[in-house]
Structure 1
C-alpha cells in the first residue's frame, strides 16, 4: 500500500477533477457491462457540473483520494493536498456518500479510481474512510448499489458487504441500472 496518499473532502474547485476521473474510469470499468451509448448517457446524467452540484445540495459528500508524487511538475493540485514533504499530490480517485440516506444508514454512492491506480488498496481506503465517518456519526450500516456484473462485487464482499437483494432502476432514455444492493454493518 502506498503510504503517500491523502483523502480530502472535495470542494467546488474539485468538481471538474471528479468529472475527469469519471470519464477516464467508466469506459474501462463498464465496457463489458454497458453499451458505449449508456456509459455516455450516465456520465452526462451524473457528472455535469450542475449534476454534481445538485448531488451535493441533496446531501452527497465527495471525497478525493490524492496520491503523492515527488517532483511531478505537471501536477497542479489545490494547496490542501500539499503536505508531508511530498511535492505534489495527484487526484486518482473519489467516493461520494450520503449520511442518513435511510434512518441510521449511510449510502456509499460512488467509489472510482483511475485504472492505473486500481489494485493498490485505495478503494478499500476510501470505503474505510466513509465507514469511519458514518460510524462516528452514529450510523448503523453502510449501503451501496453495484451493477450485478461488476467485478468490484468481490472487493465489496471482501471488506464485509453482503448482498441484500437485486433491483432495477429505470434511469431514462431506455436505459436501466441493474444492481445488487449490498450492506455493511457498522456495529459489532
Structure 2
C-alpha cells in the first residue's frame, strides 16, 4: 500500500536524494549537463528547499511503501491569488514508475484542492518531456499555453502550462 504524507524540513535530505536519482534520467536528454546542475542547485539545495517550504508556502509530499520512498511532490494553494492549486514538483523514482504512484499523488492533490476551495490544478511540464506530458493528459490535464521562463545564468525553462478543473 502506498502512503502519502506531508514532508517538512527534516525530509530535505530525502527529497534531495530522490531528485539526484530522478533528474538526470528525466532531463538528461533534454537539458545540457550544465543546465541540469544549475537547476538542481537552484531548486534542490538545502537553502532553496527551506525557502520553498518556509517562505513560499510550498507544501511537500512524500510517497512511500513502508519505509521505501517512491517519489515526492510540492504544491501551492491560491497560486497567483486565484482558486487554483499549483503543482510545482511531481517526481517518481524510475524504479517505481508505472505503478500508479503519480496518479495517487494527483488524486491526493485533487482532494486537497477541493477541500480548500480550489477550482483548478495547474502545472508546468517541459515541452520535450513527452512521457510526462502524456501522463498528465491521461489524467485529464489540457495544455493552456506555451511558456518560456528565464531562470538565470542564460537558461530558460521551455514549458507547457497545463490545467485541470477540479
Shorter-chain TM-score: which interval?
over 0.9
Q: Which residue of 2 aligns with 1:60?
A: 58
1:41-91, CA deviations, whole angstroms, 9 ceiling, x for partnerless residues?
A: 1000000111011111211000000113xxxxxxxxxxxxxxxxxxxx111
Is 1:169–2:166 an aligned residue pair?
no
1:128-171, CA deviations, whole angstroms, 9 ceiling, x for partnerless residues?
A: 11111011101000000000111200010001000000010111
Matched position secondary structure for 1:112: strand
TM-score by length of structure 2 reads 0.96
Higher helix share: 2
After TM superposition, give the deviation of residue 94 of structure 1 in Å.
Answer: 0.3
Distance in 2 of aligned mates of 1:29 and 1:8: 24
1:74-93 equivalences under 5 Å are 89-93=67-71
Is 1:115–2:112 an aligned residue pair?
no
TM-score by length of structure 1 reads 0.85
- Regions of 4+ moved over 2 Å: none
After TM superposition, give the deviation of residue 119 of structure 1 in Å.
Answer: 0.8
Q: Which residue of 2 aligns with 1:86?
A: none
Q: Which runs of 5+ in 2 are unaligned?
A: none
Q: How many residues align?
A: 163
Q: Which residue of 2 aligns with 1:39?
A: 36
Bigger Cα Rg: 1
Matched position secondary structure for 1:33: coil
Distance in 1 of aligned mates of 2:70 and 2:32: 25
Distance in 1 of aligned mates of 2:148 and 2:85: 20
Distance in 1 of aligned mates of 2:148 and 2:30: 15
